[in-house]
Chain A
Amino acid sequence: MSELALTLVRLAFLGLLWGFVLVTVLVLRRDIRQPADSTSSSKAEKKSKGRQPKPPKPPKISRKQKIRGTRLVVIDGPLVGTVVALEGGQITLGRAPDSTIIIDDDYASSRHARIYESEGSWVVEDLGSTNGTWIDRSRITTPTVLPVGAPLRIGRSTLQIQN
């Protein structure tokens, strides 16, 4: 093997090693961005999905706008940073392992509260919890509309609907 060829192979190896790192970072970036809105997904992303089943379609824009608020974010407490998309159906909160958001907290009940969609807005209902479900500073007793940005308190966690 000539000196030149060896140098070329050596540089190619380093280049490809960095290529791997860069491809990984690209995948990582797309992975972080991906789910925000599936309408703007790039071609490459569609390609990478391959034959896998498509995720359920998000609700139509008009309805989305009427509901206002597309995701439920935990803004304080042990699960801070967790985000769940609000797309129809309901979200259950509590200590039970089958809850959508498992609030592992001594002050939360097994089936603490649920959030569902009603007439274009998101409604919180307390499911008979011991320590109560609070919107801002008031404890709710009946199903109550949860406006965007209002702090929903369950145990030591605070949640918020965001657009």
Chain B
Amino acid sequence: MSNRRNVELVLLVFAWLLGILGTLQVGWATGEGTPPRLWITTGAVALIALVMHLVVRFRATYADPIMLPVGTLLTILGLIMIYRLDVADARRAQLNDAPIPTPDVYSQLTWFAIAGILFCGVLILLRDHRRLQRYTFTFGLLGLFLMVLPLAPVIGTTVNGATLWIRIGTFSFQPAEIAKILITIFFAGYLVKTRDSLALVRTKVLGVGLPRAKDLGPIVIAWAVSLGVLVFQRDLGTSLLFFGLFVSMLYIATQRRSWLFIGFFLFLGGAYFAYSTFGHVQARVTVWFDPWAYADTTGYQIVQSIYGLANGGILGAGLGQGFPNLVPFASTDFIVSALGEELGVTGIFAILLLYAILIERGLRTAITCRDGFGQLLAAGLSITFALQVFVIIGGVTGLVPLTGLTTPFLSYGGSSLIANWVILALLLRISDRSRRPDLSKVSPDDAMTQVVPRVNQS
């Protein structure tokens, strides 16, 4: 199979041009004129994307050609929207004679650069994803440590009721985003070793084949930890993501539907417990049932978001022509409703398709991967994307109760952007390994070097 690096380059240029057009439109529509630092910012984006492309070209030559451009386009759309919200904030500050807030777009751009460096670092330093398997339990412990880090007395910070951040000086970070990757690696490494006993050994309880108590241990621990996150850090989104990830990886590893049922009932139990014990969970659910009854208080965000989406309609108000800044946290949790207002249903569906394509490529990488660890890792990483997109876009549109998760690549926020680009780098590394046509040295006792091209199933 030939490599597809030139296709990737063309798509990257396409994404970049779209970015310029979008930025120009924001400037023109808001009356700012051509944005003052247009060429510096778009030049920086082009430079980051080009460096990432070159690293992929030389270090992961056979990797999937679609994932990098799609990730870049989503990041660019996020940057456009953040810039647009900056303009709106500055406008409002001017009207109120308040000092103009510092624009977020430059710090997001800086985070993108850092994410790009980490992306390249992963691809250059990690030549074979199977090396990660050696450190399964190290990663697991490190992941757990990072998850509880925000509870530490000095550096842990509570923002808007959730203890998710650590703050050192002026620098704040969400360690759970990185923990998410480490724990996926841990799950993959752990499940690839134990999946046989998880899948095969079972005892009959009331006519249902259940796994032994010993094998049930890890899932119960995962459940307890995710509940712990909910109790102590008061973060619904992360605990949902963490538990959903573990159940789906168990299912993929063992191909036993019973894990899905067990997971579902554990989820119901946990959800009921959380609902009856915690006020903030209860508040989220009541708002979800009827946001309009609380339109001025707890439901304000979601109602504004729905108004915004309605204002967008089919074709959208147009970039720079809506009022997305009326929704609180428009640049983080609610960036999708901001994009929905200005790009309309047409734009939202394009964005959803981009996510679908990204996840499909990830899952395909998992299917074509030749070793069990790589399969599980690729599947798990794609599932983190899928769960995040579902939970946050579902929350913003009122499909499921709103939980605070970031929208991958789009949302304003450094930790999330970095984590998602590292995930993308790992997926590209696995994809490169599984699509590489020449497996050098197949058998040590075989003098002939074998060439076995891969064939994807069509």
Give chain A's interface residues, CB within 8 Å of chain B.
1, 5-7, 9-14, 16-21, 23-25, 27-28, 31-36, 48-50, 52, 54-56, 71, 73, 78-79, 81-85, 87-92, 97-102, 104-106, 111, 114
Complex CA gap A55/B224 in Å reads: 51
A133 → chain B, closest Cβ, in Å?
A: 16
**Do the beta carbons of B344 and A36 come within 8 Å of each other?**
no
**Hey, which chain B residues are within 8 Å of A87, CB to CB?**
451-453
**Do the beta carbons of B370 and A82 come within 8 Å of each other?**
yes
Of the candidates A27, A90, A97, which one forms a contact with B65 in the assembled complex, judged by CB atoms under 8 Å apart? A27
Question: In chain A, what residue has the closest Cβ to B318?
Answer: A10
**Hey, which chain B residues are within 8 Å of A105, CB to CB?**
196
**Do the beta carbons of B4 and A1 come within 8 Å of each other?**
no
**Hey, which chain A residues are within 8 Å of B350, CB to CB?**
14, 17-18, 20-21
**Hey, which chain B residues are within 8 Å of A35, CB to CB?**
1, 453-456
A135 → chain B, closest Cβ, in Å?
A: 21
**Do the beta carbons of A31 and B456 come within 8 Å of each other?**
yes
**Do the beta carbons of A92 and B442 come within 8 Å of each other?**
yes
**Hey, which chain B residues are within 8 Å of A100, CB to CB?**
370, 439, 442, 450, 452
**Hey, which chain B residues are within 8 Å of A7, CB to CB?**
318
Interface band, chain B: 35 or more
**Do the beta carbons of B451 and A89 come within 8 Å of each other?**
yes
Question: In chain B, what residue has the closest Cβ to A33?
Answer: B458
B62 → chain A, closest Cβ, in Å?
A: 10
Q: Does B59 contact A (CB under 8 A)?
A: no
**Do the beta carbons of A48 and B6 come within 8 Å of each other?**
yes
**Do the beta carbons of B451 and A21 come within 8 Å of each other?**
no
**Do the beta carbons of B315 and A98 come within 8 Å of each other?**
no
B280 → chain A, closest Cβ, in Å?
A: 36
Taking A84-B454, A99-B443 as given, write out 8 further A-B residue pairs in contact, using a Cβ cutoff of 8 Å, ordered by the A residue number.
A6-B321, A10-B315, A12-B21, A16-B14, A52-B2, A89-B442, A90-B443, A104-B373
Q: Could you give, for residues 350-371 of chain B, a 1 whenever the CB lies within 8 Å of some chain A CB and a 0 otherwise? A: 1001100100110000011011
Of the candidates A18, A20, A89, which one forms a contact with B450 in the assembled complex, judged by CB atoms under 8 Å apart? A89
Q: Does B325 contact A (CB under 8 A)?
A: no
Q: Does B213 contact A (CB under 8 A)?
A: no
**Hey, which chain A residues are within 8 Å of B56, CB to CB?**
none
A80 → chain B, closest Cβ, in Å?
A: 9
Q: Could you give, for residues 178-206 of chain B, a 1 whenever the CB lies within 8 Å of some chain A CB and a 0 otherwise? A: 00000000000000100110000000000
Given A55-B1, A89-B450, decide whether A101 and B370 contact each other with a Cβ distance below 8 A: yes
Question: In chain A, what residue has the closest Cβ to B29?
Answer: A6
Complex CA gap A48/B73 in Å reads: 21
**Hey, which chain B residues are within 8 Å of A36, CB to CB?**
455, 458
Of the candidates A17, A27, A32, A106, which one forms a contact with B456 in the assembled complex, judged by CB atoms under 8 Å apart? A32
Complex CA gap A88/B448 in Å reads: 11
Of the candidates A23, A54, A84, which one forms a contact with B452 in the assembled complex, judged by CB atoms under 8 Å apart? A84
Q: Does B263 contact A (CB under 8 A)?
A: no
For B344, B370, B451, the residue with the greatest tally of chain A CB atoms inside 10 Å of its CB is B370
